[in-house]
């Protein structure tokens, strides 16, 4: 009976230690929008919104109505390496006009496929080119976080390897074709 009690006690201690470690190891994930008034981007001129670690599309609305003198914005979709899919990224003006920013993105992604972006850095970010920020009310982002952290790095490396393999195979194919053409020319006596 005493042995059974100690066994349960140790199980509870182990369970509490696992919970504690899991909470300590969980990442504090967030997306962040930086504002530039002409002096560059700073932490003090930004808004952070929490990110949930799942693959469901998450919506973020950054209120920028009280920032009339913006010269530039930078959007960091996550504070960790990630593979994301952008469903929507829009700037809403005071008159209700919506500007689609997806076609004007400049990012530090290592790979881009359509709406998917692969980031191997813990500081992934987007800058916007040729955007008028006057009379902007809010920035809205709909993002699916496909992979985060180490998982994102593994997937990114796998895609890079696949791309390099296809480029390498393409070059060999072109070289082989050129070599065969030269052999044909030699055989024809040209």
Mean pLDDT of the chain: 82
Count Cβ neighbours within 10 Å for each residue of 153-183 and write b for 16 or more, e otherwise: bebbeebeeeeeeeeeeeeeeeeeeeeeeee
CA angle 140/138/96 to nearest 5° reads 100
Q: What is the pLDDT of residues 53-72, one digit of tens each?
A: 888 999 999 999 998 788 88
Q: Does the predicted model carry a pTM greater than 0.85?
A: no
DSSP 139: E
Tell me how far CA of residue 148 lies from CA of 58, 109, 143, in angstroms. Answer: 14, 14, 13
Tell me: pLDDT of 82 over 90: yes
Q: ∠ at Cα 55 (62, 163), nearest 5°?
A: 105
Look at 79 and 39; give whichever has higher pLDDT: 79
Q: What is the pLDDT of residues 84-102, one digit of tens each?
A: 999 999 999 999 999 999 9
Residue of 30 and 168 predicted with greater confidence: 30
Q: Is the pLDDT of residue 164 over 70?
A: no
Q: CA dist 40 to 29, 44, 62, Å?
A: 24, 11, 19
- Stronger pLDDT, 114 or 18, i.e. the higher one: 114
Q: What is the pLDDT of residue 4?
A: 58
């Amino acid at each position: 009976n005493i042995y059974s009690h100690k066994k349960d006690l140790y199980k509870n201690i182990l369970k509490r230690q696992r919970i504690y470690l899991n909470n300590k190891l969980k990442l504090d994930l967030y997306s962040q929008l930086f504002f530039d008034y002409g002096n560059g981007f700073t932490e003090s001129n930004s808004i952070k919104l929490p990110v949930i670690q799942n693959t469901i599309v998450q919506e973020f609305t950054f209120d920028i109505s009280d920032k009339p003198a913006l010269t530039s914005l930078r959007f960091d979709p996550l504070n960790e390496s990630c593979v994301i899919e952008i469903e929507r990224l829009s700037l809403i003006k005071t008159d209700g006009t919506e500007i689609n920013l997806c076609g004007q993105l400049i990012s530090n992604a290592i790979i881009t496929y359509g709406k998917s972006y692969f980031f191997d850095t813990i500081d992934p970010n987007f800058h916007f080119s040729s955007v008028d920020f006057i009379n902007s009310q809010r920035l809205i982002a709909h993002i699916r976080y496909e992979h985060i952290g180490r998982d994102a790095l593994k997937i990114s490396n796998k895609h890079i390897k696949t791309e390099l393999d296809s480029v390498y195979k393409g070059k060999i194919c072109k070289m082989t074709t050129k070599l065969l053409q030269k052999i044909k020319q030699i055989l024809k006596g040209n």
